[in-house]
Structure 1
């Protein structure tokens, strides 16, 4: 089975989070908690929602972000939360996809 996320992408993700943790420690005396990480993800999901609505003509563009970068950032946050919560996200994605494929009778070629 090919890995869903390459080890290189996972390591780069972790390196970026480590750098942010260093900034958090420098500015606040400690790194963010998992709950603070989740709050940051929630904020980014709200920005993503506005960007999608803007793309679909249902909202006006007021965010300084691009849809594509915000989508990638949200995936990054999920990877980092999985890491901090000791969840093997690759294993869980494989399990989730396999269960849904079986339920929906999807045959992979």
Structure 2
């Protein structure tokens, strides 16, 4: 599951970004702007995956591992802003899929 300290660290980083948004733009980003940023990062991740598979040329200054982690961070951030308990929802999702597939060994 997502450890509490990981979620708290995600929140602290987003708080720091919000301070920069207010400083430079006079307001924090909306949820829609956060989603747009995630969409952009997903596009970068797509290119990196295609590059890794030899189907695209490497044009981004990013690493695939970093972009994957950043996209998870954005999802945690969006869940937080939408008042969704992502830890609880991940547990429910995994339990449902384990039941669906008859998985009894959980780790």
> TM-score normalized by structure 1?
0.94
Give a deviation string over 1:41-89, Cα, whole Å, max 9, x none.
0000000000000001010000000000000000000000000000000
Name 1:22's counterpart in structure 2. Answer: 19
Structure 2: how far apart are the matches of 1:104 and 1:6?
A: 25
SS in 2 for 1:87: coil
- Equivalent position of 2:49 in the other structure: 52
User: How far apart are the structure 1 equivalents of 2:11 and 2:76?
Assistant: 9
Where do 5+ consecutive residues of structure 1 fail to align?
none
Question: What is the 5 A alignment of 1:1-109?
Answer: 4-108=1-105
4+ residue runs over 6 A deviation: none
**Number of matched pairs:** 106
> Hey, what's the Cα distance between the residues in 1 that align with 2:64 and 2:25?
30
3-state SS of 2:2 partner:
coil
15-24 or 4-13: bigger deviation: 4-13
1:12 CA drift (Å): 1.2
